[in-house]
Homo-oligomer: A and B are copies of this chain.
Amino acid sequence: MVRPTMEDVALRAGVSRALVSLVMRGSPKVSELRRSAVLKAAEELGYSPHAMARSLASRTSTVLGVMVSDLHNAFFAEVVDGIDEVAREQGFDIIINTGGRSPARERRALESLLSFRPAGLILLSPVVPATAIGKAAEQLPVVLVARSSRVSTVDTVNDDGEQGARLAVDHLVSLGHKRIAHLDGGEGTQAGPRRRGYVAAMEAHGLVPQVVSSEYTDAAGARAIRSLIDDDALPTAILSCNDFNAVGAISALEDAGLRVPDDVSVVGYDNTSLAALRHVSLTTIDQPRAEFGRLAADALLQRVREERTEPVRHLLNPSLVVRSTTAPPGGSR
């Protein structure tokens, strides 16, 4: 249960601790003779370097912290894939922590991540207040994904939510819908742009916006639909704040004996793997998720290497993915 140290390896290989250190870091200024002796000793002892001691001594870190606000959402898994890809390429490791969509838990997660003194931090759709992010950004480079920021030391990677919402509304209008409600993401990040895009697009078409407060979960989507039904205010089409919400909405509609898309059309947002399932086959707005991750990691590593000081604001273009949950209104399929 007690791991060998550099000292142990040095002793066994008959060299100094400093030499072992050089070998471990792949220094070219070590003779082949010594190198192999050290590697052999390390192998025999089952030695592997102590990352913490290393980063303490070198005052550098090869770790990127990633805070995932909600592990249940597959959206983030793909972003993490993108981050991981770039990080690994450049010799960095990532450690993940999750906030469970609760600001308090997320704050704790952030604190915990920070206590490892990583080289930088990527926050995926954080829900903590902007001040908490600003405070973190004073200590190390921070990149935000799916959330915007005005802080000049923080880079951001987002999709253009206004444009995405517009694409969805245009699609529904072109199908003939006039009464289109938006299930709003509430406090959720990116809910603002989507709502604004929705309202602007509706008005551009001369239609009346109908914003229903909801959240980024399937339960919330179902709840919103039930309240619409109770209020007798159900439109012919729904634009959900995300796919989860949309799937919840569809469940509630079906529970109420309504058919999708015959009676009500539903559009999601995010194009998660969920939406792509045949059985769901949700019309939705796609975001280049892995690209989000890659761009975020790139931006972060630029800051880590101090190659750049001006903020970067990636705004990627979303696209409409038409599947089977949208159709002309009035059961006229």
Q: How far is the CB of A76 from chain B (nearest CB, A)?
A: 8
Report the nearest B residue to A61, measured CB to CB.
B52
Q: How many copies does the complex hold?
A: 2
Q: Say if the beta carbon of A200 comes within 8 Å of chain B.
A: no
**Contact of A1 with B80 in the complex, beta carbons under 8 Å:** no
Residues of B within 8 A of A247 (CB): 277-279
Q: Say if the beta carbon of A176 comes within 8 Å of chain B.
A: no
Q: Say if the beta carbon of A77 comes within 8 Å of chain B.
A: yes
Q: Binary interface profile of A, 40-83, with partner B (CB < 8 Å = 1, else 0)?
A: 00000010111111011000000000000001101011101100
**Residue in B1, B98, B255 whose beta carbon sits within 8 Å of that of A139 in the complex:** B1
Report the nearest B residue to A272, measured CB to CB.
B72
Residues of B within 8 A of A274 (CB): 274, 277
**Contact of A116 with B51 in the complex, beta carbons under 8 Å:** yes
**Contact of B93 with A94 in the complex, beta carbons under 8 Å:** no
**Residue in B88, B108, B112, B277 whose beta carbon sits within 8 Å of that of A218 in the complex:** B277
**Contact of A112 with B100 in the complex, beta carbons under 8 Å:** no
Q: How many residues of A contact B (CB 8 A)?
A: 51
List 15 other contacts, CB 8 Å, given A81-B100, A247-B277.
Answer: A1-B140, A3-B139, A49-B115, A51-B115, A51-B116, A52-B56, A52-B116, A72-B78, A74-B74, A218-B273, A218-B277, A247-B278, A250-B278, A251-B278, A277-B280
Residues of B within 8 A of A81 (CB): 71, 100
Q: Which residues of A contact B (CB under 8 A)?
A: 1, 3, 46, 48-53, 55-56, 71-72, 74, 76-78, 80-81, 84, 88, 93-98, 100, 108, 111-112, 114-117, 135, 138-140, 218, 247, 250-251, 254-255, 273-274, 277-280
A93 vs B96: C-alpha distance when bound (angstroms): 11
Whether A84 contacts B111 in the complex (CB less than 8 A), given A117-B3, A138-B1, A250-B279, comes out as no
**Contact of A98 with B115 in the complex, beta carbons under 8 Å:** no
Whether A48 contacts B115 in the complex (CB less than 8 A), given A139-B3, A250-B278, comes out as yes
